[in-house]
Amino acid sequence: MVKYISYSTFFIGIILSILNFIQIPFWIGWNIYLVNEKYIDVDNSLKFIYIIGTLFGTFFGMLSFVLFLNFVDANIDNSKFPISNFIPLLFLGMALFQMFKFLKKYY
């Protein structure tokens, strides 16, 4: 653990992003949907603008999430509500929201 902590956080973030294989099926599925629904055209040069926009959007989305969590961590009393409790609650909230949308649409 001590050796792991000695690396820069930027380097650790890059390595963990490379090892995040969950993003591969997500982006493949998302791009197949966009191509099939004719939202993007793969025959012209505008596909590179889509890829660049996707890269910048992902980067700035993740950056805003990191900055928000850094702000929350700096301004909250960790003894009352540790930040490690916030992330599972966030995902639980998103799951409940998706379940509500699913039930509303199909039932």
One domain for residues 71 and 83:
no
One domain for residues 70 and 82:
no
One domain for residues 41 and 54:
yes
One domain for residues 12 and 27:
yes
Exposed / middle / buried, residue 92 (Cβ in 10 Å: 0-12, 13-18, 19+):
exposed
pLDDT of residue 97: 96
pLDDT of residue 9: 80
With a cut of 50, list the residues of the chain below it in pLDDT: none
**Per-residue pLDDT tens for 43-69?**
777 788 888 888 899 889 888 988 887
Sequence-ordered alpha helix ranges (H) in the chain: 2-6, 9-18, 23-36, 46-75, 83-106
Domain range for residue 7? 2-76
pLDDT of residue 77: 72
pLDDT of residue 104: 94
One domain for residues 89 and 68:
no
The structural domain count of the chain equals 2
Q: What is the pTM of this model?
A: 0.54
One domain for residues 27 and 71:
yes
With a pLDDT cut of 90, the percent of the chain lying above it is 21
One domain for residues 72 and 88:
no
38: left (phi over 0), alpha (psi -120 to 50) or beta: left
The distance of Cα 13 from the centroid of its chain, to the nearest Å, equals: 13
One domain for residues 86 and 62:
no
Q: Which residues contact 47 (CB under 8 A, 6 or more apart)?
A: 40, 41
One domain for residues 82 and 100:
yes
One domain for residues 26 and 54:
yes
